[in-house]
Amino acid sequence: MKEFFGILLIIVTLWISSPIVAIFLGISYSIGFNLDQDFITKSIGSRLLQIGIVLLGFTISITKAFEVASVYLPSISFLVLFTFIIGILLGKIIGVDKKLSILIASGAAICGATAMAAVAPILKAKPQDLLTAITIIFLLNAAAIIIFPLIGSFLDLSQNEFGAWVAMAIHDTSSVIGAAMIYGDTATESAATLKLGRTLWLIPLVIFLSLQYKNNDQSKAKLPIFVLFFVIAISFGSYLNFSDEIISTIRILSHSFLLIGLFCIGTQINKDALSNISMKPLQLSLILWLIVILASYLVVV
């Protein structure tokens, strides 16, 4: 029965074609049916999003990608370092456990749950701390998909400005793409390019923490391979110079994968995860995020 409703909700998601609806239908489905941790949607969400992002790469001009990257990547590098350092300092002030502070700061600085999952084995973080950090970041990212397009419209940001802002200010790639999709195609292309540039900072972070914690086993902390595939897709798309009809078809496919992926990401939240959130980590995550939102906006405008 729950599989049937899941398929039905995915069809509704594609029909409505809204990232906001996709993620909240996923949350409702997970809580309503109390899905098990090993339910299929929980394991394929990230993979579907990655496929959607790689497909998006085929529609992006390599010239435009370099143009956007050259303008904003120095600012992204500064914000990554700034966010990580401020996160650690705020954690000390608020009284959050050091390892949990590092998890939250890593997620806020680079790529949300992906960064947290990458550094957790190095820190030998408690499973409960990782679950807490990921749940908090997920909730903030779900809110971001709704809030950021509204603020962007109110501030009259251009497509490229909005894409750069969400790429710097929102944690998870899924929510960056979700918010940008609402704003427009150009915003989505800029956001995807810059967000994956931000993800590259996962490499020095892993090396730094491995040295700090005397951990030589970095096998569990590799850069997501889809970043490489995204770059290859941009190169191929620019070289092959697809017709408008083919690009339109690829965009539809990409959009569909992204929507279904967001729905599946939504199913990762459940009642148990929500009930285990404590106040201090939530305070740290929220304050740090507000600082990042303001700092990234000032950089963009």
- Quick: pLDDT tens for 163-178: 999 999 999 888 999 9
The predicted-structure confidence for 259-282, as pLDDT tens digits, reads as follows: 898 888 888 777 776 777 789 999
Q: Is the pLDDT of residue 218 over 60?
A: no
pLDDT band at 37 (very low <50, low <70, confident <90, very high): confident
The residue type of 107 is: G
42 vs 35: which has the higher pLDDT: 35
- Shortest CA distance to 135 belongs to which of 279, 274, 290? 274
Q: Residue 116 is encoded by which pair of tokens?
A: 């947290």
pLDDT band at 131 (very low <50, low <70, confident <90, very high): confident
Question: Quick one: average pLDDT of 115-124?
Answer: 83
SS3 label, residue 112: coil
Q: Which residue has 């409960």 as its token pair?
A: 128
| pLDDT for position 157 | 96
| pLDDT for position 217 | 52
| pLDDT for position 166 | 97
Residue burial 256-273, b: 16+ Cβ < 10 Å; e: rest = bbbbbbbbbbbbbbbeeb
Q: Residue 64 is encoded by which pair of tokens?
A: 């435009």
Q: Is 35 left (phi over 0), alpha (psi -120 to 50) or beta?
A: beta
- Shortest CA distance to 73 belongs to which of 157, 178, 199? 199
Average pLDDT, the chain: 86
Whether the Cβ atoms of residue 152 and residue 165 lie closer than 8 Å to each other: yes
Per DSSP, 224 falls in state P
Q: Is 215 left (phi over 0), alpha (psi -120 to 50) or beta?
A: beta
CA distance 258 to 263: 9
Q: How far is CA 244 from CA 58, 97, 206, 248, in A?
A: 12, 53, 41, 6
| pLDDT for position 222 | 56
223 vs 28: which has the higher pLDDT: 28
| pLDDT for position 208 | 86
The least confident of 41-45, 53-57, 107-111 is 41-45
CA distance 82 to 295: 9
- Shortest CA distance to 69 belongs to which of 234, 252, 243? 234
Straight-line distance from the first to the last Cα atom of the chain, in angstroms, rounded to the nearest whole number: 50
| pLDDT for position 301 | 84
| pLDDT for position 219 | 45
The residue type of 224 is: P
CA distance 21 to 13: 7
| pLDDT for position 272 | 72
Q: Residue 231 is encoded by which pair of tokens?
A: 């770059």
Backbone angles phi, psi at 270, to 5 degrees: -150, 175
Range with the largest mean pLDDT of 45-59, 173-187, 271-285? 173-187
Range with the largest mean pLDDT of 17-26, 97-106, 128-137? 97-106
